[in-house]
Homo-oligomer: A and B are copies of this chain.
């Protein structure tokens, strides 16, 4: 046998769910100290492994003992800029897929701990995941300025905060290379993700999403749900909405009793071991 060809660091998987890709660190015993530099390096699409975020999968007994009775596994989710993401629907879907493929759960429901509580995900034997998000909570109105125009919208919380702006000109025409600037009220210290939405002739929605610190996102599970929730609030109809994103169509179901269900296909592309020297070198880079 030859040596393993890496200086063995954390185990990881690269995978996808609902239009996003992630680096999943498999850290059951809570051994990995994940710095902002390491997260930024891992998510870098040229100098790292590339991803819309890093998910650290930890046993809940170590991550949040108070939740351990509700969920065996916990998702410690980080944004590409290194900050903590309180919630990420597609992240939960990918974790469910990993647990299923690893034989750690059976098809059906799984509860996964997050910093906003234990969340229920249902996965079938083909990897389609339905993720229950928090009920959307309407916090008020605000607006954002972009390219000399001001866009009014609704601020909606799904654990993280979204400003949803309906527009009638096609969202494809927006220039998101410049940074949108919040022009109306903020809501606490948290940054607002901004989502511009068109209602299409066939009833689908078309979105583009900007995340402060990251820039434009091809897709974002909670943003898609916030867009559907804002439309439901304006028009009153419950049910399933298809939302076209830069990463393809996604599906959101809203019901009167408050549940939000985000549906996406999850897959694991690769599984392996990070080189410990390499991940340590990321930590030495300027932040």
Contact = CB atoms under 8 A, between A and B. Distances in A.
Nearest to A273: B271
A273 B5 CA distance: 13
Interface string A37-80: 00000000111111000000000000000000000000000000
Taking residues whose C-beta sits less than 8 angstroms from the other chain, chain A's interface range is 35 or more
Contacts of A5: 13, 98, 101-103, 268, 271
Contacts of A271: 4-6, 272-273, 275
A270 B102 contact: no
Copies of this protein in the assembly total 2
Nearest to A267: B278
A138 interface: no
A14 B49 contact: yes
Contact of A101 (B6, B48, B279): B6
Nearest to A4: B271
A244 interface: no
Contacts of A12: 270, 272
B102 A3 contact: yes
A104 B3 CA distance: 9
A218 interface: yes
Contacts of A178: none
Given A21-B46, A45-B50, A270 B269 contact: no
Contacts of A50: 45-46, 49-50
Interface in A80-114: 98, 101-104
Contacts of A102: 2-5
A247 interface: yes
A274 interface: yes
Interface string A5-45: 11100001110100001000000000000000000000001
Interface in A259-287: 267-275, 277-279, 281
B13 A46 contact: no
Contacts of A21: 46-47
A98 B247 CA distance: 34
A273 B48 CA distance: 18
Contact of A270 (B98, B103, B274): B274
**7 smallest A-B Cβ distances: which pairs?**
A272-B272, A5-B102, A50-B50, A3-B103, A5-B101, A6-B271, A45-B45
Given A46-B218, A268-B278, 18 more contacts: A3-B102, A4-B271, A5-B101, A5-B103, A6-B13, A6-B270, A12-B270, A14-B49, A21-B46, A46-B50, A46-B247, A50-B50, A267-B277, A269-B274, A270-B273, A270-B275, A270-B278, A272-B272
